Structure formats: structure tokens, C-alpha cells
Structure 1
């Protein structure tokens, strides 16, 4: 086991510093002192007592950053593999999301946090919209603080209107008690804008402004959120550089121009958008507007929880759309516009920029020491190492993550987690699954996991807290 107070020297790796030039530094060392990167260069001197990690034939890169993950749902891993977005809304928003107790939020967050650092995702925005009470919120934070990763709690509650839960005295009390400015726990507010007349979400934006925190919102989701919500945010002055628009898949040129003009960013969750139906993954549409991009995995109730999958699927979806658009014009794509180096940047620096952490996302002296070594001596896929960006985006996987540092602390080494009680996480999740299954009854549990194709149309936006239905996608 490594002592977190010792210096760490990663020796002789191929380093991706994620600078503006997307450099590749071969046979290069990375020295970590305390919680910071001290030096990056060849043949560095190891300080007395340093732990030296042999990075030969490996790739050293910044820790990856996921800007949108519903961590509380990880206890339901793969349960909704065959869901549509509508079935997700019905299960969590209308029918069974209310069954989650504080301890169930804790169990999901605990497992998700462990899973993240195991995959080299050193920072996660916990899009925590299952916080029905502040007891649930306390449980979420307790779980995040028990795992040696870096997190941002994005507080939300799908069972109440945003204006209601954000105005509750207990919410403000929670913020005062638990959000202390810790380097390891950031804070956002998470809610959606439905485009309902009167802009009922306005008071929640005002609370966010008063607290000085960013808002993250599911925007451009087919049948749920649309251009009207963007217009309301823009005309009321709530689109800021700190705002993160998740998915943003079905917006108009006007909306994309408003996001670009106000400096916001888009969190693309390609596995989710491809499967659930929010809209075609967004990168092919927004690159023309210069909108910054970060990557996210959304929820393990369907999909994988690592950013290798995010990078791979995003490249595939973007390139596929480029080919289809060209073929429709009887043309051929002969050169790719989106490269492997771009998605690796989105998974690192893009995430850091989205959450306002300029001290993360790259390997430079003075930056925070969130570092990942990808190396697997037992894998035939680990060599030859020719194009390291291509290796990360198309060849690597979570099992190739050899060593992970968060804030200078070694949390994974030689492919094994350090100081993590995986057995306790398993026990907690098993209790949550048993609670949900027994509360629902076995028949409902099985039906939820194996949904039938509905015979009737389901309202496009079945949120618990609003009866509003737009005419954008639902005309009957």
C-alpha cells in the first residue's frame, strides 16, 4: 500500500499533458509532490522516500472528468438496459423513484464513486436528482466523502418543482452545513426547464444566483425540454459561462447560438442519446458553433460507467453522422474532422472547463495531481503503442487502468483499488435491491426490467411535478 504523503514519480511513460497543442511526450516522467504536479520531463530525480511507478510502455494522462452521472441509480445497474427515455421517466419520476430511502441514495453513490476511480474518472458531477429530502442529500454527500475521489454534488429533486425545493429552508440549511468550499466536493443545482408559460423555474435560478452556484440542466431532450426553455433562460439572463447543458440534442440554431454567445458548455452523453432517444448525439451539430464540450455517462441503470466508452461512442456517432450527411448529398467524407485527440481532450480538459476547475484536466506543474496511468502488461492490446490518443479512445478499457492518483493520493495501483471497502459497497447495494424488489413486488420488478412495447402513446414529459405538455412533439 502506498502512503499518500509520499512523493510519487511516474517514470518513463508516454505522457499526454493535454496542452493546447495536444502534445505527445515520450519517455517522460511526472513528479507529484503533495497534492500538486511538481514537474513533467525526462530523467527527473526522485526525491528521498518517493514511490517510483514504472510507466514504461504505458500512457500517463490527466484524470478523466464526467460532467453528468446520476450516481444514485448505480444500485440498479443494467436494470433498464432495454428502456426508452419514456420508460425511464415513468419508472423513476412517476412510479418507483419515490421508494428510494436515504440509505439507498448512499448505496448507489458509494458504488458509483468507487466505480469511477477504478476507471480513471477522478472527478464526477453527481447529477443527484433523487434528493427527495435533505436526509437523502446528507446520505449522498456522506457516500461521496467516504471515497477518495473528487466530486461535484448537483442537487436536484424530481419529485418537486425546482422553485419549491430550492426555496425550502432545509435546502439552504443543507448548503450551509455540507457545502463548505472543500477542494474535493463542489456544488451545483440540477433542474430542467420545461418551457412552460410563466417560466416557473425562474425562482430556482434566482436561488442559484444568490448562492453563486452553477446550474446544470437537461436541455434539448426530445419530448421533454426544448428551445422555449432556452429562450426563457436567455431572456431572463440565466445563461452564463458556468451553465452546463446536458444532451442539447434537439435544439435549433437559435438555441445553439445563445449557448455559444453566453459561453456555456454542453455535456454529451453519447451512449445515452443513442439508446434512450434524447436526440442524435450533439457533437456533429455544435462544433460549428464553437460550443465547448465535455463527456458524461448519464446512468449505469443502462450504460457503462467509464469514459473510454464515452470517447469511443462519441467518435463513432459523430463520424457516422458526417458520412450519412455526405452520402445524402452524393458526396464522400475523405478526412475526419473529429479526431481521437479531441475526444480525449473533452474527457479531461473539457470536463475541467465545464466545472470551472482550471487546476484540473491537464498535466502541468502547479496543477492538481489527478493522474492516470494506462498500462497492462498482460494484455495483447497494449502494444504496439503507436498513436496514444487513438489507443486511449479506441483500444483502452477500465481493466487497463494501472494507477490512479486523486489530489496526489494513490487510490488505485497495479490494477487494484487502494483503501476501498468493496465488500461493504456490495452489501449496501444488495440491501437496496432487496428493498426495492420487495416494495414493488416481484411481478412489478420483473415487468420493469423487461418492459413490453406500449400499445398507447405516453405523454412526452411525464414529470411528477408538472402537468404541462408542449405541442413540440405531442399533438394529441
Structure 2
């Protein structure tokens, strides 16, 4: 079909996108968002028009008029979705990937955390590892990340992590961590560092924004320290605040009740509670009344034994996150799929334990899709993210509808949520710019970043290989540490547990 103004249809991803030209995605099936209904709207054979960094048109057929110089991309047979949103991530740790496949959370704290790494890492290491991790995420369709940046243990390290976020081209909410690290830095010493980062000129032209991460809200908070930090957050208009919230036997807190007691929960800045695995009914009520969200990290909470016994009950105030991608998947699609099936399992079990049979499915693919996209935007209070609609940022994914996994699809939501993989992802756009085309990363800095990362990774991995494993403590935060029963997958002697092959 000929388009208005004689604009020819170009093969998919044939040309690079100019900095000022508009883009017309024509003929695909669009998983758009109906803001009034707060649900999805499927448009088959539709069009999406992007100008600069935003979506300016969503149509059920080719528009009659397009901006001069528009590049038209034929996406017939493909599925167009918004980019995925990750509301909890530690990007700088990418170097440790595959080294901690059987680790526990207690071991993680004593071996891979920001209370150990800064004594072996330099700022270049932080930059290389953060950048490689973000390219990995972009390749998987994660266009927005809330990075709980625990690598802010020095001015140079903090700046390196932020610069890597900017250079990646991803939409990163870089949540600068205020933490006291014995023998290295104090929260007070981090204030001028944060002020300096906020003045960084490249922030103004990047989709990256500054936030704050802090884990000292309770149960015994340093109130003057918190007040000073929150005054800084207000003064510099940070985009988001995030905290690790983990109660129960783990002995941490940082609960909604803790922050509410300090009069900081019902504020204009969004606060994201990562994990919130043992959220109380009172805490859930506070989240709803103040419109604050949790970040469920399904694979992390399974891997590390954090658990998520009550998170199913607060999904209306929940989003999805990755956490420590060094030990498992880096993509939100996997997290959404795991969470969907885990929720179904738990709700089915509620019925089966009553010796009854389930007559309906307790969670839908659409609900999982919303958790992976729109709910992340709501957690960040960004109405212009996580959706395909006019006025939203142009963070888009193009899925190959003719791949072996998707061939013959009918329902595009089910196709993506239950059948697709990263291998089916042809294109990724952030802020109106392609970062993946034709199934390959095209971010201009990626080849050089890959080379530098491998050099950094091999050096640091050698250090950690030589580092003795920490002893398992008898107790942690006042609770006894025990070994769970080990499974057996081999008949006869031995259980098949094996080793970590470093």
C-alpha cells in the first residue's frame, strides 16, 4: 500500500534513524494502552508514529499525513509492545556473573556486596561493569531500570556508575546510595558527592535521572541523618527514592511503617520498596493510601530464600524487578512469567488444600504484562512510560511474529508473556532511538564496551576466585542459620549437587 506524501516503505531496520526524523512503524499488531480503562488495547495492522523522543500517533491504519522526512518501517506480522520496566537492579555487579550460582543471601552480603567490593574495585571497573550490564538489559528489552546504585562508595565510583548509565542510552533512574561503609566513607561525606553529580551536564540531555537509595529507615533510624538526606532530595528534586525492605526472620526493616513514622511516606517523591516480602496488612494499607509501590523480584526471592509469602495480595501496588542479575536472568520477561505461574500455583494450592478443584485461572497473562510495563511506570510516577499511547516516551519493542516460538500466534499478549524469549526480540527503541535492530545491539559504544568489560571481568574474577568463601554464621540478625534439606537427583551414593565450575 502506498502511503501519504509518496513515502516509500523501507525494509525493517534498513537505515539508521536520524536525530530529528520521525519514525512510522506500519502494519504491526500493537499492544497499546487504554488510559481510561486502565487496560490494554490491541490494534491489528496499526501504526505508531514517533517524533523525537515521544509517541505522537497510534492508529488502527496508516495515517493520512506524516511529518516530512518520516522513515517508515514495515512491521507487518510483528508485535509492538512498550519496553519493560525493571524497578530494582544492581547494575555494577555484572562482573560477578556465573560466580554465585548456588550462593545464599548471607554469603552474598559477605562476598559480593558493596561492603566488600570497594576494597578491590576502581572507578573504571564500576564503569565497565555497569555499562555492560545495561547493554545486556537493553538487549533483553528492558528499556527502563531503577538502579539501586550501591557502588557510590567514592566520588569517582559514583560518577563512573552514573556516566555508564548515561552512555548506555537506557532510561536509568540512578538511585545514588547513601550508606556508611566502615573504613571507607560516611553518609555525610557523600552529600557533596551527590550535589556534584546533580550538576553533571550530560544528565540534561539523557533519559537517565537521579534518585536516592537508603536502607537506614528502621527499626533504629538515625533521624538527623535521614532529615538531612531528605532535605537534599527535596532541594535537588530527585526522581525517586528506593529501599531494600525485608522483614520477617531476616531481621531487616525499612518498612512502610518505618518511613511513615518519620513522616516521609506521603510525599510527592515516589518511594519503591524492593522485595517487601513480609509486608504487613498495615504496611499494605499505607502503600495504597500514599500510592507507593513495591518491587517484586521473583527469581531473586526464590534464589536467595527471601521468600514472598504475601506479595500476591498487594499486586495493585506492585511492579517487577531483577535484583542481582549475576545469579539469574536479566530480563523482566522471565520475571513476569515466573511470577505469573508462581501466583497461579499458590492460588491453586489454596483451593487444593481444601480438597476442592479450581474452576478458573487466578491470574491472567494481561495482568503479568501490566506488572512488567505499566505498573513499573506507576511505581516511578511516570505517566509517560510503560505504555503505547500518544504522549508516552518512545520506548518500544519489536517482536518477530514469524519466529519458531511465535509462529501462528493469535493473542499477542499471550505470545509475548508465555511463548517469546529474548531471541524473538528484533528491535528495541529508547527515547525514540534504536539501540537494537535486526536482533543485534547497535548502540555505538557496545563493541568497545564489550572488549573493556571482558578485560575488567577477568581481572576481578581472578581476585574473587582466590578469595576464601565466608564461613556460615551460627546466626544472622539474631536468628539461627540452618541448612535446608538438600535434594537428591542421583540414584545411589551421592546427590548430584556438584560444584561451581570456575
TM-score over 0.5 for the alignment? yes
Aligned to 2:332: 307
Determine the structure 1 residue equivalent to 2:272: 244
Separation in 2, partners of 1:159, 1:305: 28
TM-superposed deviation, 1:312: 0.5
**Alignment match, 1:335:** 360
CA contact (8 A) 1:84 1:276 kept: yes
CA contact (8 A) 2:180 2:186 kept: no
Match of 1:71 in 2: 91
Contact 2:95 2:461 in 1 (8 A): no
Distance 1:166 1:317 in 2: 43
Shift of 1:71: 0.4
1:152 pairs, out of 163, 166, 173, with 173
CA distance in 2: counterparts of 1:151 and 1:393, whole angstroms = 24
Query: What is aligned with 2:295?
Result: 267
For 1:125-169, what per-residue CA distance to the aligned partner results, in whole angstroms no more than 9, with x for missing partners? Answer: 121112111111111122122222211111115553897257633
Write the distance in 2 (CA, Å) between the matches of 1:186 and 1:369: 17
TM alignment of 1:443-458, pairs within 5 A: 443-444=466-467, 448=469, 456-458=473-475
Deviation at 1:216, TM superposition (A): 0.3
Aligned to 1:141: 162
Is contact 2:151–2:161 with CA below 8 Å preserved after alignment? no
Aligned to 1:2: 16
**Which residue pairs with 1:468 in the alignment?**
none
In the aligned structure 2, how far is the partner of 1:435 from the partner of 1:181? Answer: 34
SS in 2 for 1:23: strand
Partner of 1:43: 62
Note if contact 1:219-1:225 (Cα within 8 Å) is conserved in structure 2: no
> SS at 1:352's partner residue?
helix
Distance in 2 between residues matched to 1:400 and 1:87, nearest whole Å = 35
Task: Classify the secondary structure of the residue corresponding to 2:168.
Answer: coil
In the alignment, structure 1 residue 21 sits paired with structure 2 residue 39: yes
Q: Unaligned stretches of 5+ in structure 2?
A: 1-14, 483-502
Give runs of aligned pairs for residues 16-415 of structure 1, distance below 5 A. 16-19=31-34, 20-41=38-59, 42-45=61-64, 47-93=67-113, 94-156=115-177, 160=181, 164-165=187-188, 168-177=191-200, 180-182=203-205, 184-193=207-216, 195-199=218-222, 202-203=226-227, 204-213=229-238, 214-224=240-250, 226=252, 229-240=255-266, 242-280=270-308, 283-287=311-315, 290=316, 292-375=317-400, 377=402, 379-415=403-439
Q: CA deviation at 1:113?
A: 1.6
Structure 2 residue aligned with 1:436: 460
Instruction: Report the 3-state secondary structure (helix = DSSP H, G, I; strand = E; otherwise coil) of the residue aligned with 2:314.
Output: helix
CA contact (8 A) 1:64 1:307 kept: yes
Q: CA deviation at 1:182?
A: 4.7
Q: 1:425 aligns with which of 420, 425, 449?
A: 449
Name the CA distance, whole Å, in 2 between partners of 1:396 and 1:91.
35
On the 8 A contact 1:245/1:267 being kept in 2, the answer is yes
For residues 10 and 171 of structure 1, what CA distance do their matches in structure 2 show?
40
CA distance in 1, matches of 2:248, 2:204: 36
Counterpart secondary structure, 1:313: helix
* Greater Cα radius of gyration, structure 1 or 2: 2
In 2, the alpha carbon distance for the partners of 1:25 and 1:137 equals 43
CA distance, structure 2, for counterparts of residue 420 and residue 265 of structure 1 = 35
Displacement of 1:346: 1.7
Distance 1:98 1:326, change over 3 A: farther
Counterpart-to-counterpart distance in 2, 1:255 and 1:163? 30
Structure 1 residue 338: Cα displacement: 1.9
Quote the Cα distance in structure 2 between the aligned partners of 1:207 and 1:48: 45
CA distance in 1, matches of 2:167, 2:475: 40
For the structure 1 residues 223 and 79, does the alpha-carbon distance in structure 2 shift closer, same or farther, using more than 3 Å as the test?
Answer: farther
Alpha-carbon distance, 1:456 to partner: 4.4
The number of residues matched between the two structures is: 454
- Stretch of structure 1 that moved more, 425-434 or 115-124: 425-434
Give CA-to-partner distance per residue, 1:414-458, whole Å, 9 cap, x none: 112223343322222223223324444x432xx55xx8xx66424
Q: Could you tell me whether the CA contact under 8 Å between 1:281 and 1:317 is conserved in 2?
A: no
Deviation at 1:14, TM superposition (A): 1.0
Deviations 1:327-372 (A, max 9, x none): 2333333222321111211211111122222112111122221111
Cα shift readout 1:227-269 (whole Å, capped 9, x = no counterpart): 5743331111111361111111112212222222221001111
